[in-house]
């Protein structure tokens, strides 16, 4: 066993920023076809997953937190690990439809994971109206980002329905948790960390924060003539309650790719245009469409090609959704132009921002995040909602022998960000999950309906218009 293993600065943010109404875990709701000849059962599912989780060492680690948050937490082995604490079953109440499944997913999500144990769980959900079953996998964001989650699903699932419980030729990553420091070691290491942090904070303020603030002042002066200022929206940038709503749907990948090719834009551009159009419809129906365009905070991967490490390696960019533009094609083109610039700027700024965060102990992060209200948080983030997309290879996958028909992702909302739209490609479909604050966004299934309508509209326009150069 290695001497010590601490969370890094990025992972610690997801721990330090949790509070009574903020849950920093993510989830995937998978709908499975149990099959006819050898139907899936909970006993079979539990047995298979108990074998497969051995390929993920992090699933056996728990956090050892430093008192008062003066230093980064430690990862240690859970000596009392029990698979039954993490893999559970529940039945969906009648009528067992998609609305009921979404409501149950929201309820299962709306609770903190127990930090005394590894920060993940799986729920085997029975009682779907069509005879299918669902599996909801929940894991804390401090463990991994979205691309790591796709790698995780590859380890837990198979390319064939009759695969063996133990994956041949695949070994767990050669990583281990550390041991818990003794009281003396903890005091010494924490003191040294605080001394290093004070120096890093001073250096970061001088070399990163102040230049960014001065740059921001100059940029905002120029921005007044170039783009509308950010204005929080009362529904999207509201304070959040304890309950989460979850709605979901699927869109044909072929239609999205056809639109992408016809208008010479990116896959993400099409997704953002669909979200922008859906929000335009949703807010217009509530007489709440702002004159200024809404902005999305978009996750940008910082991974090098071939990087399969399970950790967080992302930054964020702000992209207009052009909701002030009524024409869908002009909206798509505006998003395309803005997103290219945003991605380049985000990757260039990521290192400096991370260096500043690394200088802050968890105690300071918690205090800073807890001291701002929803409007202040929205202004700091500079976005009205979060949008992210993930893509896998599109090949069929099987979980404990049952085909995964859909995977609907569920992600984080927090004070000032009341809507999170996360998408993942699953073969022939793009599966979309929308996590919403029920206190400010009513009838969220309307957003799913509007997404489908926007896709049909862009598909029709692509068919009837000349191809972009």
pLDDT of residue 311: 54
Task: Please provide residue 424's backbone torsions phi and psi, each rounded to the nearest 5 degrees.
Answer: -145, 135
Q: Write the CB contacts of 61 (distance below 8 Å, at least 6 apart in sequence).
A: 75, 76, 77, 78, 118, 177
**What one-character-per-residue DSSP string does 334-347 give?**
HHHHHHHHHHHHHH
Q: What distances in angstroms separate CA 247 from CA 47, 92, 93, 289, 434, one per listed residue?
A: 30, 16, 17, 21, 5
- Write down the number of H helices and E strands in the chain: 12, 14
Active-site residue set: 141
3-state SS assignment for residue 27: strand
Quote the tokens at residue 268: 């993400």
Q: Write the CB contacts of 46 (distance below 8 Å, at least 6 apart in sequence).
A: 83, 87, 124
H or E element, residue 425 = strand 419-426
Quote the tokens at residue 149: 């989650």
pLDDT of residue 225: 46
d(CA 271, CA 257): 10
- Strands of 104-243, DSSP E: 120-126, 133-140
d(CA 248, CA 448): 7
Helix 445-464 with 253-263: angle, nearest 10 deg: 50
CA-nearest of 248, 290, 249, 298 to 273 is 298
CA-nearest of 152, 26, 69 to 411 is 26
Task: Please provide residue 292's backbone torsions phi and psi, each rounded to the nearest 5 degrees.
Answer: -85, 155
The per-residue b/e assignment along 390-421, b for 16 or more CB within 10 angstroms, e otherwise, is bebeeeebbbbbbbbbbbbbbbbbbbbbbbbb
Domains 9-166 and 194-395+407-464 fall in the same CATH topology: yes
pLDDT (tens place) for every residue of the chain, 469 residues total? 558 898 988 888 899 999 999 999 999 999 998 776 677 899 999 999 999 999 999 999 999 999 888 888 999 999 999 999 999 999 998 899 999 999 999 999 999 999 999 999 999 999 998 889 999 999 999 998 777 888 888 899 999 988 776 665 566 777 888 888 888 787 887 777 666 666 566 655 555 555 555 555 444 444 444 556 789 999 999 999 999 999 999 999 999 999 999 999 999 999 999 999 999 999 999 999 999 999 999 877 655 555 555 555 556 788 999 999 999 999 999 999 998 777 666 555 555 555 566 567 787 778 877 788 888 888 888 899 999 998 888 889 999 999 999 999 999 999 999 999 999 997 899 999 999 999 999 999 999 999 999 999 999 999 987 665 4
CATH topology of domain 194-395+407-464: Chloramphenicol Acetyltransferase (3.30.559)
CATH 3.30.559.10 fits 9-166, yes or no: yes
Which of the 8 DSSP states describes residue 110?
Answer: S
pLDDT of residue 222: 47
pLDDT of residue 224: 45
Segments making up each domain of the chain, as ranges: 9-166, 194-395+407-464
Task: Give residue for tokens 């875990």.
Answer: 25
Beta pairing partners, 421: 387, 434
pLDDT of residue 244: 96
Beta pairing partners, 315: 300
3-state SS assignment for residue 434: strand
pLDDT of residue 99: 96
Task: Please provide residue 373's backbone torsions phi and psi, each rounded to the nearest 5 degrees.
Answer: -90, -175
Which of the 8 DSSP states describes residue 205?
Answer: I
Q: Write the CB contacts of 340 (distance below 8 Å, at least 6 apart in sequence).
A: none
pLDDT of residue 277: 99
């Amino acid at each position: 066993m290695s001497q010590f293993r601490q969370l890094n600065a990025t992972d610690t943010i997801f721990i330090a920023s949790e509070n009574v109404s903020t849950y920093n875990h993510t989830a995937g709701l998978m709908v499975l076809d149990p099959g006819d000849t050898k139907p899936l059962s909970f006993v079979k599912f539990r047995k298979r997953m108990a074998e497969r989780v051995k390929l993920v060492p992090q699933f056996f680690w728990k956090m050892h937190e430093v008192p008062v948050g003066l230093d980064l937490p430690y990862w240690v082995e859970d000596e009392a690990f029990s698979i039954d604490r993490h893999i559970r079953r529940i039945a969906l109440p009648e009528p067992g439809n998609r609305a009921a499944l979404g409501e149950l997913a929201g309820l299962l999500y709306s609770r903190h994971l127990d930090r005394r144990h590894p920060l993940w769980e799986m729920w085997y959900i029975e009682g779907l109206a069509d005879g299918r079953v669902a599996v909801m996998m929940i894991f804390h964001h401090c463990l991994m980002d979205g691309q790591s989650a796709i790698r995780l699903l590859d380890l837990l699932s198979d390319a064939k329905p009759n695969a063996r419980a133990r994956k041949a030729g695949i070994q767990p990553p050669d990583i281990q948790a550390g041991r818990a420091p003794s009281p003396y070691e903890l005091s010494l290491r924490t003191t040294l960390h605080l001394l290093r942090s004070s120096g890093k904070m001073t250096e970061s303020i001088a070399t990163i924060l102040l230049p960014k603030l001065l740059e921001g002042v100059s940029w905002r002066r120029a921005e007044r003539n170039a783009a509308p200022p950010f204005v929080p929206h009362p529904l999207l940038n509201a304070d959040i309650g304890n309950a989460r709503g979850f709605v979901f749907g699927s869109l044909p990948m072929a239609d999205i790719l056809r639109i992408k090719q016809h208008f010479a834009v990116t896959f993400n551009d099409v997704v953002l245009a669909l979200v922008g159009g859906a929000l335009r419809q949703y807010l217009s129906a509530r007489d709440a469409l702002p004159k200024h365009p809404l902005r999305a905070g978009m996750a940008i991967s910082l991974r090098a090609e071939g990087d399969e490490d399970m950790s967080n390696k992302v930054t964020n960019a702000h992209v207009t959704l052009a909701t002030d533009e009524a024409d869908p094609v002009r909206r798509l083109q505006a998003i395309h132009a803005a997103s290219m610039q945003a991605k380049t700027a985000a990757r260039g700024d990521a290192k400096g921002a991370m260096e500043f965060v690394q200088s802050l102990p968890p105690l300071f992060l918690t205090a800073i995040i807890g001291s701002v209200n929803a409007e202040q948080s929205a202004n700091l983030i500079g976005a009205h909602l979060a949008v992210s997309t993930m893509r896998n290879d599109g090949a069929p996958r099987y979980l404990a022998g049952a085909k995964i028909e859909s995977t609907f992702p569920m992600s984080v909302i927090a004070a000032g960000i009341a809507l999170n739209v996360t998408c993942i490609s699953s073969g022939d479909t793009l599966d979309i999950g929308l996590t919403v604050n029920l206190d400010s966004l009513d009838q969220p299934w309307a957003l799913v309906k509007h997404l489908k309508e926007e896709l049909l509209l862009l598909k029709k326009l692509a068919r009837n218009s000349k191809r972009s150069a």
